[in-house]
Structure 1
Amino acid sequence: MAHYQMVSVSGSEEFNRVEQHNGKAIFTYFTGSKDARGKSWCPNCVQAEPVVGEGLKHVSEGCVFIYCHVTDKPYLKNW
């Protein structure tokens, strides 16, 4: 069982509504949204995810980890 609280949100609107965690260390990971197979469209995110997961093994008790899925690739192509 993880010794940190995990909060998963999608997009900036949900991220902005995350409850306050006063006094706790907060780590946020912004990653490309995932497809039905669970793979992100962002190759850098795919490469970074195992590193982030390994780092979470070393966070202090009671931390908060916010996993924020950002927009999908077609949106960014039109931005």
Structure 2
Amino acid sequence: MAHYEEVSVRGYDEFCQAVSERKGKDVFAYFSGNKDAQGKSWCPDCVKAEPVVRGEMSHLPEGSVFIYCQVGERAYWKDPNNDFKKTLKLSGVPTLLRYGTPQKLVEDECLKAELVKMMFTED
């Protein structure tokens, strides 16, 4: 059994709800473009980064939470006023961040297993 909790959410409101239900926990969030019925995201970098991020999840801290968040369709993501860009200050997908800290990996950085592992293992 995993030593962390994994939660999948869609959209900003579900993301905020998941975070607020887990106050006080170490939360890692991975933001990806929405997936279609075949499970493929419109974001090619997200498709490439997901197996890298998942491959390092064994390094997540004990008792932490991993939130997989689909940010919406491409048109919504491209809107500079969407909640992810305005409120969470995301600049691209995929993004992996440690919630409540300045630590984040954006786009190509999510393809580097050693960076993902460092994110999960360093305080």
Q: Which residue of the other structure, out of 20, 23, 29, is the alignment partner of 1:21?
A: 23
Structure having greater relative contact order (Cα 8 Å, sep ≥ 6): 1
CA RMSD of aligned residues (A): 1.5
2:76 maps to what in 1? 75
Structure number with higher strand proportion: 1
Count of residues paired in the alignment: 77
1:43 maps to what in 2? 44
TM-score (norm 2): 0.57
Q: Secondary structure at the match of 1:60?
A: coil
Identity %: 56
Letter in 2 for 1:11: G
Cα deviation 1:12-69 (Å, max 9, x = unaligned):
11111121331x2210000111011111110010111011101201112211001111
Q: Which segments of 5 or more consecutive residues in structure 2 lack a partner in the other structure?
A: 80-123
Q: Where do 4+ consecutive residues of structure 1 move more than 2 Å?
A: 74-77
Q: Secondary structure at the match of 1:39?
A: coil
Counterpart-to-counterpart distance in 2, 1:58 and 1:74: 34
Q: Secondary structure at the match of 1:71?
A: coil
CA-CA distance at 1:11 after TM superposition: 0.6
